[in-house]
Each structure stands twice: as C-alpha cells, then as structure tokens.
Amino acid sequence: MTMREKIEEAAARYPDQRSAIMPALLIAQKEHGHLPGPLLEEVADILGVERIWVYELATFYTLFHTEPVGMFHLQLCDNISCMLCGSEDLLKHLETVLGIKRGDTTPDGLFTLSTVECLGACEMAPVMQVGDDYHGNLNVARINALLDSLRATVGRVASVEHASTRPPGE
Amino acid sequence: MFEPVLLKNIDAPDGHLLSTFEAGGGYRALAKALREYTPDEVVELVKRSNLRGRGGAGFSTGMKWSFVPKQTGKPKYLCCNADEGEPGTFKDRIIMERDPHQLVEGLAVSAYAIRAKTAYVYIRGEYVTAIRRLEQAIAEAHEKGYLGTGILGSDFNFAIHIHCGAGAYICGEETAMLESLEGKRAQPRLKPPFPAVAGLYASPTVINNVETLACVPHIVTRGPDWFRGIGPDKSPGPKLYCLSGQVHKPGLYELPMGIPLRELVEDHAGGPLPGRKIKAVIPGGVSAPVIPERGLDVGMDFDSLAAAGSMLGSAGVVVIDDSTCMVKVATRIIEFFHHESCGKCTPCREGLNWVVKVLRRIEAGDGAPGDLEQLDMLCKGIFGNTFCALGDGAAMGLQGRTRAFPR
Ligand SMILES: Cc1cc2nc3c(=O)[nH]c(=O)nc-3n(C[C@H](O)[C@H](O)[C@H](O)COP(=O)(O)O)c2cc1C
Ligand code: SF4
Ligand code: FES
C-alpha cells in the first residue's frame, strides 16, 4: 500500500477527516522517519484539511519529529520508578559511551539519545524504548550488549544491501 | 483465597489469542447480555455492582452510563481510555498485551448497554505491542461474529477502532482525549456540558478506563452481588495494583479492593530491597500524595485513601526506601507535571514553573528559610484554580509530600 492508501484507509474510520490527522502523521512518520514541512503539506492535501491543523498537531505531540532523528532513537525513561531504580547512572553511562548529551544525535547518525516520561512499564524499571521495542531491567552491562546488537543489525543491513547490489556471478 | 479474574489468563503463553480466551469462558458474558438483558438492565447490573472507574477519579460507572440520553437523533460513542500516562502505572498495557479479548468483550457489552455502535480505543503510541495485539484481537472477534453486524444473531451492531496517541500525558484527561480524537491539540474542555451529553463530535459519549471495561463482563457473568462481595461495599471489586520502585518483587497484582497497603507492599511484593527500609509509598500514581511508612496500614480503596489525605488514583504503587531523598522525589514529580502542562491556564503553566525553580534550589542545597511557606503559597494558588485536574494533582501531591516530610 502507498502512504496515500494507508492514510485513506485510516481516515475511513472517522466521520470527520480532521480526526485522521494524527493517524496520518503517524503513518507518514513511519514511512519517512520524520515530518519535514512538505510532508505535512502532503498529509493535509491527502485529507483535504487545513494545513495549519496539521502543523499544530505535528508540533504539539512529542512523538512527532519535525527534525530528523538517528537510526536508533534511544528513549530512556527517567520518571519516578526508573529514577528510583538507577536511570540517572544509565543516562550518564550512555552519554559517556556515545559521546553525546541527551537530545543529541551521534555524528554517524546512528543514535539519538533522549529521556522520556514514564513509558508505562515500571515493573521492569529502568526501561528504555528503542524504535518499537521496550528494553527493561537495564544495567550498564545490558546497555552495552544492547548497543552492540543494534550496531550489529546495521552491519547486517549494510552487507545484505551490498550483496544484493553485486552483479550475479561475482 | 482470592481468585483472580482479571489476570486469569495473564501467564498463559497464548493468552492473547481468541482460542485461549474462548476456552476460559470468553464471550459468554456478551452472549448472555444479548440474550437475557435489555441495555437498561445491563446498566442496572453495573449500577448495583458499585463498580467505580479505575482510571483515577473513581466515579460510579453505572451512574455515568445512566446519564446518556436515550432519545437523541445523534449516534452514541464509547471511548476507552488506554492512554495510561500516570507515572507508576502499567496495568492497562498488560491487559491489552496479554489478554486483549477481555477488553474487546468489555467494550462490546458496555457499548450494548449505552446503545453505542462505535468505540474508539485511545492507546498511547508507545504501546506498540499492545496496539498490535488489540488489532489482532479485534480482527479475530470480527471473524467469529463477536463484532460487526447482527452480533450473535441479535440486532446489535458494533465496531471498534484504535486511535493511537502521540505522547502527551494530558490526553488521559477525558475531555482533552476527545479534543485529540477530533484532531485538535489535546487541551481540556470546559464542563458542562459533560461528555455523556455532548462528547465526541458533540454526541453523547462515555469514556471509561481499560480496567473498568474489563470488569464489566465478569459482573454480567457472575452477577453484581459477587462483585460487591469483594472488598468494601462502597468501593468493591477485584483490583489491579501496579507495584514498582524500590521494592523486592515489582509487578502487577490482582487483589481485592481495600487490601491494606502494608500487606500489599510487604507480603505480596516482598517488602523493601535487602538491607533497606521503606520510607514512604505513593499509593496511586504521582498525583497521589505520598504516604509515610507509619501510615501504611491504610486500605487501598477510594474512600479509605481519601480519608488518609491521599488517593487510589490509578493504583500505581511506587515504593521509596531510606536511600532516597524526598526532595529529589518531589522535584522529579513536579518537573513531570510542569513538562506535561498543556499551557491552557495560568496557575498551572506559570505556577508549576515557579515550584520547579524553588524545588531545584532546595535540592541543590540552597534552600532558604521561607521556602516551604512559599511552596505552600504556590500550591494554594494552583489548587482549585486550574482548568483541569492536572494542576490540582500536581499541587495536592506536593503539599502531601511537604506535610509528610517537612525538612
Ligand atoms: C491529567 C489527567 C490525566 C489522566 N490520565 C488518565 C489515564 O491515563 N487513563 C485513564 O483511564 N484515566 C485518566 N484520567 C482520568 C480520566 O479523565 C477519566 O476520569 C477516566 O478515563 C474515566 O474512566 P473511568 O470512569 O473508567 O475511570 C486522567 C485525568 C487527568 C485529570
Ligand atoms: S491545569 Fe494545566 S493541564 Fe489542565 S488545562 Fe490548565 S494548563 Fe492545561
Ligand atoms: S517510570 Fe519508567 S517506565 Fe514508568
């Protein structure tokens, strides 16, 4: 399905097109990684709604990114239960090993580091969300292993792409 | 021994599948409701059960449903509040991930009762697994005729749609949620009109929490007297408690309403971490004032906690031990509210800003005489003067913490 088709399918769930702006922005962000201005305008045009309505939502809700983020968005919870279970030390550790401050992206574009409010998974505090996945009961060793496995997936993606672009017979 | 009902399937490896749910008696409540009761009789059952909303405010569910006008030309809507943003709370996520059909059946029975044909489940966008599982459950239920048109041979038609949130705590406030569903910024609405009269698209709308809806099929199957027989009569039923923080066995526990907080923390959740002592417990998410160790004998129900100056809220029970500084806890919580303030009204937007400044100064060791008085004054300026309960919750929580730990 194209982005337009996905958005139109989502819009059919509501009696009013304006309600479909949020789902449409989630779809658009999933496809493009973030939401630059022209994409917001495209969403508005697909739904036939005012552009300002779309801008308004893209800037109000924190899950929408109008700026690019790294390939892996590390979202460490630092709310109450995670704080009580040591998230502050994990933040310091991440800042040290990645060489960036929270809110920043590594120069190679791999990791963006953020802190977020409660992820609703406090039973496994401290918790970090990476992409769609939750990683809980974290400590320094687990964070290191997680970063390694994320880097390894990039290696795999790159080598698969490389293999498929190689001419046959080589 | 108390027999869990809400978490019955929670450890089943395929608890999210229809086959598991049906094998455990699933969708029998829906069949029973459609066959044996009129919509009004279902409302009556729920009223008689004394079920009170599990989203935080503890309002009578049957009463809320009975405010929906019967004769209007407009469609009626059921909205499920699955935004679960209150720090310390994770019960709705676990229901949706591990036993999503329980919610689907709860939605269907409740929609029948209020004569709604459409429900929207507003789930926070971070809950990717829960969203997938619920989507799958809805599709399975459709295929089997538990949703759709002419459900189980009756003339009841009903569809469920999922609406993903995009990261704003305020969307959990019911009128802000309606604004968000209508594609606007999530800022609370003035009440009245109440949603039951003019809610989503200005139509009669009921908003209920995931756990509230999950209780409904059990009330239909086992009867209101069974429900009322568990815990205090005015605040009864099985209840999900979310245990987290500095405690030995964090996790989700299903136990009767009204269980003493001490028993919950010390017996069920295994007490403090080795070598530590409990200093205080937040009983119902961070909007609920903290309870110092000496107060732990309070019962975990709406009325007992209110009488103790706190609240059951979302039953997010956060345990704090003697290695932790209470000023730090207070600062972190107020920073949360400040960050999540929607900015619509001045006392909350500006007041919390000042509270954060004073608290950060105290935490840094630069407290000055008069700081506590100033915090108290700021809280009084916020409490009761804000548009929605976010500001109240922030002020009430802080006043509770300064009362319990005045240092
Ligand atoms: C700031 C704020 C946040 C809230 N967040 C939630 C939430 O995440 N989930 C929820 O069910 N109720 C939340 N509520 C309560 C809802 O407004 C509403 O009372 C509840 O969803 C009604 O459902 P119930 O009667 O089944 O409890 C919140 C209220 C406020 C003021
Ligand atoms: S109290 Fe805070 S969150 Fe509620 S409407 Fe006012 S500014 Fe918004
Ligand atoms: S406080 Fe971190 S997941 Fe809830």
List the end-to-end C-alpha distance of chain A, in Å, as a whole number: 34
pLDDT at residue B402 in the model: 79
Average pLDDT over residues B370-386: 92
B325 vs A contacts (CB less than 8 Å): none
Which residue's CA lies nearest to atom 25 of ligand 1? B53
- The per-residue pLDDT for B400 is 79
Residue type, B270: G
Flag whether residue A61 sits within 8 Å of chain B, measured between CB atoms: yes
Q: What percent of chain B is predicted at pLDDT more than 90?
A: 92
- Closest residue in chain A to residue B339, using alpha carbons only: A117
Q: How confident is the model at residue A160 (pLDDT cuts 50, 70, 90)?
A: low
Q: How far is the CA of B349 from the centre of ligand 2 (A)?
A: 7
Predicted confidence (pLDDT) per residue in A107-150, tens digit? 999 999 999 999 999 999 999 999 999 999 999 999 999 999 99
Of A29, A108, A114, A104, nearest in space to A74 by CA: A114
Asked whether the predicted pLDDT for residue B200 surpasses 70, the reply is yes
Instruction: Check if the beta carbon of residue B104 is closer than 8 Å to that of residue B112.
Output: no
pLDDT of residue A157: 64
Instruction: Compute how many other C-beta atoms are within 10 angstroms of the C-beta atom of residue A159.
Output: 10
Q: Give B282's contacts in chain A (Cβ within 8 Å).
A: 80
Q: Provide the pLDDT for residue A154.
A: 87
Cis bond before residue B369 (omega within 30° of 0): no
Residue found by looking up tokens 């500084």 in the block: B325
Nearest residue to B203 via CA among B194, B216, B212, B211: B194
Q: Which residues are registered as beta bridge partners of B66?
A: none
CB of B87 within 6 A of ligand 3: the answer is yes
pLDDT of B404 over the 80 cut: no
Q: How many Cβ atoms are within 10 Å of B31's Cβ, its own excluded?
A: 16
Q: Who's near B250: CB < 8 A, 6+ residues apart?
A: A81, A122, A123, A124, A125, B243, B244, B269
pLDDT in tens, B134-177: 999 999 999 999 999 999 999 999 999 999 999 889 999 999 99
Q: What is the mean pLDDT of residues B52-81?
A: 95
pLDDT > 70? residue B195? yes
Read off the pTM: 0.96
CB environment B276-300: b (16+ within 10 A), e (fewer): bebbbbbbbbbbbbbbbbebbebbb
Tell me which of B86, B212, B352 to substitute to probe ligand 1's pocket, judged by most ligand atoms within 8 Å of the beta carbon: B86
The 10s digit of each residue's pLDDT in A81-105 is: 999 999 999 999 999 999 999 999 9
Nearest CA-CA distance, residue A79 and chain B, Å: 7
What was the pLDDT predicted at B401?
78
Dist CA B58 CA B40 (whole Å):
22
Closest listed residue to residue B43, CA positions, set B30, B61, B25? B61
pLDDT at B407 over 80: no
Angular region, B148: left φ>0, alpha ψ -120 to 50, beta rest: left
B300 Cβ contact partners less than 8 Å away, ≥ 6 residues apart:
B239, B241, B257, B258, B259, B260, B261, B264, B283, B312, B315
Per-residue pLDDT at B72: 82
3-state secondary structure of B72: coil
Provide the chain A residues 4-43 that lie in CB contact (below 8 A) with chain B: 13-23, 25-26
Out of A13, A25, A125, name the one closest to residue B244 (CB): A125
DSSP assignment, residue B122? E
Q: Which helix (DSSP H) or strand (DSSP E) does residue B305 occupy?
A: helix B302-307
Residue B140 CA: distances (Å) to CA of B80, B145, B321:
19, 9, 45
Choose the mutation target among B84, B184, B273 for the interface with A, i.e. most A CBs under 10 Å.
B184
Minimal-distance CA residue to ligand 1 atom 31: B389
The DSSP element (H or E) to which B134 belongs, if any, is helix B128-143
- Encoding tokens for residue B380? 């009084």
Per-residue pLDDT averaged across A39-63, rounded?
96
Distance CA B315, CA B94 (A): 14
pLDDT over 70 percentage in chain B: 100
Closest ligand 2 atom, residue B386 Cα: 1
First to last CA, chain B: 43
Of the candidates A60, A54, A117, A20, the residue with the CA atom closest to the CA atom of residue B344: A60
Residue A165 — pLDDT band, cuts 50, 70, 90? very low
What H or E segment, with its residue span, contains residue B49? helix B39-49
If you count DSSP H runs as helices and E runs as strands, how many of each does chain A have, helices first?
Answer: 7, 4
